[in-house]
Chain A
Amino acid sequence: MLGNVYKWIVKDMIETNDLSKQFNNEFWAVDGVSLRVQPGQILALLGQNGAGKTTTVRMLTALLSPTRGWARVGGYDITKNPQEVRSNVGVLTEQHGLYMRMTGEEYLDFFGEVYDLDPKTRKLRSNYLLEYFGLAEYAHRRSGEYSKGMKQKLALARALMHDPSVLLLDEPTSAMDPESAQLVRNEISRLRSSQRTIIICTHNLAEAEALADRIAIIYRGKVLLNGTLDELKRDVLGPVEYEARFAEEFDAGDLDLPPGVTLAGRSATSLRFRIEAPQIVNPKLVHALTSRNAPLVSFQEVPRKLEHVYLKTMADAQGVPYAA
């Protein structure tokens, strides 16, 4: 209840400040993580294995207490109100964690009971989720007989069983076939549009790019980058580049470039420009080219993927050259 009220009053459903965790008084698994995620937002946590993503998620689930800093999830302090935090969070753990001798239906019913749902609601929710994830046909089979993808879907259904306002998903589509992965991504998108707050830990950069509103890259427990995809691209890879392709050789010569545009590269049939403010400059640049009778075939942004951002960030962090 308080979580729902909080959602309307406060912007951030997940808020961490200097969140840190040290193990054995020597190893900092998470070191000074400060994040904010609003209702209806998806944050993708990216990083190598052992970077601190799982420890961060475990702290946000009030499974581990922070050594330093604090965090609030759904308005509840993870240290002071751990029970309330857990009630409001749905977690998909790194391992699916299914009880192999329980049927899918029994499993969801058990977790519904754990989250204090009444029998009628449990039945409704479990039927809906089994149906949605295409598991209804196998509801009475023991989960040990499920395929990897089915297990993952059942685990996700478990995380959604109590309809939580915050979802922490660790590799939600791993081991899934493309159709199932698409189904899960659609569900995540649907949850976002119903104002759920979601954190996804993933190694699947394409998925993060497709789903996330914000992206945070963690390296050795520290957040190296945190922002929207566009912000990260601009910060890491520099201004946007546009490429003009020509039907035949075109000598740009003393082409008069508008302010805010620099020539980044050229070939006989193409020119590449680095542009600070494309919305303002691009029309002028296209005009400049066409007024010189350039045989323009296409003028488009050079695709820059999250993968480039991630790899360059990691290369910089490790002090090794980044080969694009």
Chain B
Amino acid sequence: MRRNLRVIWMVARREFIDQFRDWRIIVPMLLLVTLFPFIADDTTRQAVNFMNRFGGDLILDNLVPFVVLVIGFFPLSFTLVVALESFVGEKERGTIEPLLSSPLEDRHMYFGKLLVGITTPLVFSYASIGIYLFLVSRRAVEFPSGYMLALILLLTFAHAVLMVSSAIVISVQATTIRAANLLASFVVVPVAFLLQGETVLIFWGNEDVLWFAIVGVTLLAGLLVRLGLSHFRREYLLGREIDTINIKWVWRTFRNRFAGNARSISEWYRKELPITLRQLRQPLMIVVGLAFVAGIVSYMWVVMNVPAYFDLTPDRITEIRTFVAGNLTNLDTLGERLPAPILFYHNARTTVAFLLLGLVSFGTLGLTLFLVNMALVGGVLGAASLVGFSPWVVFAVGVLPHGIFELSAVFLATAAMLKTGAQLVTPQADKSLGEMLLVSLADWFRVFVGIALPLLAVAAVIEIYITPILIKLAIS
């Protein structure tokens, strides 16, 4: 452990020396750190005057924490520059090869560079926050609580790790700084959105809500660190000389994995698909388990909290039941208003959305969206029980008939998505990130095309033409 830390520090120390001798990094950072707090302080003063004139206490109270978050973020934007310089820059200048030829281990180099990428911008970021808070303390503005400040500092740290780890993943893929800079927008844009979301939390949520952002960002950063570490390999760093798109290779890799050794569709169903399904056993268990938990938790939350919100008196319940019974005839024309193909398209699109979100978040966002859907089912059953319907009956007639097909399809596709995300962050000795992604996607498409789509088609027909009849029979 001690030796590992010593070696990591050795790599980091050299990077620090290199960095602090590079005016292109240090001068802009110093300018940002020293000038921006003054600009922000003046902006705060003007905003306070504006708010005092026209009202808006809620915004005013949270203005300083918001500015602290923004001020902390500006120097962090340099994490990208530092990380890209440190990885792709070394590759481009050819300085990485002597280092890779040495007995240093991949993880030592990775963590050494990660440390530098995070530390310098973070120190500048905290310095900038410090200057701003000092300026604020001299004004008649409410100073943020220590707890709030601690949360923002923690969030700033999580941002730094997230951005550096993302930049490292990009660096491993790119062979030139130019390419890496272009790819860096894939970090900047999502993080900008993230910052906007956190701003919303600061202005309209309470302090504790920030923990969600901290946990979410830390989780994602952790997964990115793991992804970077798993693909920071000598072989991969030196195996590519130029960034070219090899469409043929992409298609061949995908097709070979998707089709496997099957020579016909029936053989594919008999031999190839079961292999993929067997590999999904573990993620499927996780998905089903979490879906069950999400449904139960949501059901219980609705049953326990909704009555207080909506004042569900017996008269109100009767009113709702009458409204539901009166609207059952609407189900007769459901097929006209929502044709089965449209429903099928909608469900298929949602399943693809799980995958896309899962791809950018290593499964976490896709799984979150899936769980939100499962929570909706639980919530609807909870609401049904509140107005006097048996949740079991509603489930049996309103969910189960098409749900057998639809939920099976969604469970399997989500499990495949989760496996894709997990594979991306798992070290693979013989595969590049691109190859890994293609193979994982091919596995997902096997499940999607081979099972999910047919099941979703059947589910859509049942949901439009059979479920409404069963609901009417059960409720009326």
Contact = CB atoms under 8 A, between A and B. Distances in A.
Interface of A: 23-26, 58, 61-65, 83, 86-87, 89, 91, 93-102, 106, 110-111, 113-116, 142, 155, 158-159
Interface stretch (B174-182, B201-209, B233-241): B233-241
Interface string B228-258: 0000001100110000001001000000000
Contact of B103 (A100, A102, A116, A159): A116
Contacts of B97: 63, 91, 93-95, 97
Nearest to A63: B234
B22 A63 contact: no
A278 B97 CA distance: 48
A199 B35 CA distance: 55
A64 B239 contact: yes
B326 interface: no
A303 B249 CA distance: 50
Contact of B96 (A97, A114, A115): A97
Nearest to A88: B103
- Would you call the interface of chain B mostly helix, strand, loop, or mixed? helix
B239 A93 contact: no
Contacts of A62: 234
Given A93-B94, A97-B94, A102-B18, 6 more contacts: A25-B249, A63-B101, A87-B103, A94-B94, A114-B99, A155-B98
A96 B101 CA distance: 13
A313 B34 CA distance: 66
A113 B13 CA distance: 12
B1 interface: no
A114 B93 CA distance: 20
Interface string B74-105: 00000000000000000001111111111111
Nearest to A84: B103
Contacts of B102: 86, 111, 114-115
Nearest to B94: A95
A22 B226 CA distance: 27
Contact of B10 (A89, A93, A113): A113
B270 interface: no
A65 B22 CA distance: 35
Name the interface size band of chain B. Answer: 20 to 34
A23 B249 CA distance: 11
Given A94-B94, A99-B95, A111-B98, A64 B17 contact: no
Given A23-B239, A113-B10, A93 B101 contact: yes
B103 A86 contact: yes
**Max chain A C-beta neighbours (<10 A), residue from B99, B103, B104:** B103
Contact of B95 (A24, A97, A142): A97
Given A64-B238, A97-B96, A106-B17, A114 B103 contact: yes
A93 B238 CA distance: 12
Nearest to A110: B14
Contacts of B17: 101-102, 106
Nearest to A26: B249
**Max chain A C-beta neighbours (<10 A), residue from B18, B95, B98, B246:** B98
13 contacts: A24-B246, A61-B101, A63-B100, A94-B97, A97-B94, A98-B95, A101-B21, A102-B18, A110-B10, A110-B14, A114-B10, A114-B99, A115-B102
Given A63-B238, A64-B234, A101-B17, A158 B22 contact: no
A98 to B, nearest CB: 7
A94 B241 CA distance: 13
A62 B99 CA distance: 13
Contact of A91 (B14, B98, B234): B98
Contacts of B235: 63-65
B18 A99 contact: yes
Contact of A101 (B18, B99, B104): B18
Contacts of A87: 103
The 9 tightest CB contacts between A and B, nearest first, are: A95-B94, A101-B21, A91-B101, A93-B97, A97-B98, A87-B103, A97-B95, A114-B102, A86-B103
A110 B11 CA distance: 9
B246 A89 contact: no
B60 to A, nearest CB: 47
A112 to B, nearest CB: 11
Contacts of A91: 97-98, 101
Nearest to B237: A63
Nearest to B249: A24
Contacts of B105: 83
A142 B472 CA distance: 84
A323 B93 CA distance: 40
A281 to B, nearest CB: 50
A97 B249 CA distance: 32
Contacts of B101: 61, 63, 86, 89, 91, 93
A114 B96 CA distance: 13
Given A23-B239, A101-B22, A93 B98 contact: yes
A114 B13 CA distance: 12
Nearest to A64: B235
A63 B100 CA distance: 7
A25 B102 CA distance: 28
A64 B22 CA distance: 32
A114 B104 contact: yes
A89 B101 CA distance: 8
Nearest to A24: B249
A52 to B, nearest CB: 14
A102 B99 CA distance: 15
B103 A83 contact: yes
A117 to B, nearest CB: 12
B239 to A, nearest CB: 6
B377 to A, nearest CB: 45
Nearest to A58: B238
A158 B101 CA distance: 12
A102 B14 contact: yes
A264 B258 CA distance: 66
A64 B239 CA distance: 7
Contacts of B238: 58, 63-64
Nearest to B99: A114
A61 B103 CA distance: 10
Nearest to A116: B103
Contacts of A96: 94
B98 to A, nearest CB: 5
Contacts of A100: 93
A41 B10 CA distance: 35
Contacts of A142: 21
Contacts of B14: 99, 102, 110
Interface string B366-409: 00000000000000000000000000000000000000000000
A307 B461 CA distance: 78
Contacts of A65: 235
